[in-house]
Amino acid sequence: MTTHVAPFPQVDHQRALFAEGMRLECGVTIAPVAVAYRTYGRLNAARSNAILICHALTGDQYVAERHPLTGRAGWWESIVGPGKPLDTDRYFLICANVLGGCMGSTGPREEMTDPAGRPLGRPWGTDFPNVTIRDMVGAQKMLVDHLGIPRLLAVVGGSMGGMQVLEWAATYPDAVFAAAPIATAAYHSAQNIAFHEVGRAAIHADPDWKGGRYWEDGRVPAQGLSVARMVAHITYLSEQALTRKFGRRLRGAAALTFLEDVFEVESYLRHQGSTFVRRFDANSYLTITRAMDYFDLAAEHEGDLAAAFRGTATRFFVASFSSDWLFPTSESRAIVRALNAAAANVSFVEIASDKGHDAFLLEEPEFHRALGGFLAGAADRVGA
């Protein structure tokens, strides 16, 4: 599994390899399956202090350390570290790159294998099968078993990470003492699917996409992937956040000059797009956005979301952000209603924030206090 697509540098990710592979929801079996992961803190002797962090669409396992490709800080260092809500002095934190991702877990960018597990000398590319949120969680479960952890103290994640948290609690209730789905929903809405489809159309429109076989000549559909990132990035911010950050400020000009990219918000977005393509694979983007679109937890339980949680002993902490229009509070409330209907133990908080969906990644003291308190209470309960 060493064939990589240019222009990504080869990174020696920490991985667990499962030779038996896994059968996906779409019916295809892939073997072997690699799960790239990172851990922080120490597992205690009772193996009772492990928290699984689930990352979002464009996140990865580098939660709280320098990113090997970008050199930037980990994506959740605001909340993960010694003495922080996800306290590395107290908990053993695990984060795995999702199945279908591009940071070392089995996905379109890794070397394709045949049904017998033999490497085929080229990346999966568009031959990588469709995966679902449940498949991602299945791969994480193999990792957690491999690490010898019978029950997670908690599963925590925002956005697509929150979808995985819900799926964990529904599929492996005995393995999850506490669950914190943040800024998420139990299904992907028509508007969310529509924005994803714009991104996919932009990738497909790029002449360098070449039907997904861009790896053959060492090029990537950079412009299409960049446009996909630009539109997604707008949905991660609130209108207030964009206005506060940029308003109608002009770039290097006091008055309108009729030049291209004259507004600061334009150059910011273009920068977001162009840096993204240096760390993310287009086929992974297509695979993972599809997985999010497919997600509909109620549909997995005959249309009854409460049935997904009936009889659960897991305790839940649901959080939303008031200015998040991608995963609005109404969708968190729908989760809470279903949990209540299932007689689950649930607390819910809507954090007042004008930062939009991205708030879950940023300095939000009230959110940090609430999540930290929930996790500490759960740890106290199990004596971790």
Member of 39, 130, 171, 275 binding a copy of itself (CB under 8 A): 130
* Residue 272: HSE in the Cβ half-sphere, 13 Å Cα cutoff: 17
* Smallest gap from residue 194 Cβ to a copy of itself (A): 5
Interface with a copy of itself: number of residues (CB under 8 A): 47
Distance CA 183, CA 158 (A): 5
- CB 357, min distance to a copy of itself, A: 13
Candidate ranges 4-12, 42-50, 68-76, 184-192; the one touching a copy of itself (CB under 8 A): 184-192
- The three-class DSSP label of residue 100 is coil
Sign of CA dihedral 371, 372, 376, 377: negative
- As a whole number of angstroms, the distance between CA 78 and CA 178 comes to 21
Nearest-angstrom CA–CA distance, 272 and 233: 8
Axis crossing angle, helix 160-171 with helix 133-146, rounded to the nearest 10: 70
Long-range CB contacts for residues 200-205, cutoff 8 Å, separation at least 24: 200/228, 200/285, 200/286, 200/289, 202/227, 202/228, 202/231, 203/228, 203/282, 203/285, 203/286
- Decide whether 84 or 233 has the Cβ nearer to a copy of itself: 233
Distance CA 384, CA 122 (A): 45
Residue 7 C-beta: closest distance to a copy of itself, Å: 18
Per-residue mark of binding to a copy of itself, 15-34 (x: CB under 8 A): -----------x--------
Does the protein bind a copy of itself through residue 334 (CB under 8 A)?
no
Using CB under 8 A, which of 207, 271, 369, 377 touches a copy of itself?
207
For the window 257-296, what string marks contact with a copy of itself as x by the rule CB under 8 A? -x--x-x-xx--xx--x-------------------xx-x
Give me the residues that bind a copy of itself (CB under 8 A), please.
Answer: 26, 130, 187-191, 193-195, 197-198, 201-202, 204-207, 223-224, 226-227, 230-231, 234, 237, 239, 242-243, 245-248, 256, 258, 261, 263, 265-266, 269-270, 273, 293-294, 296, 299, 325
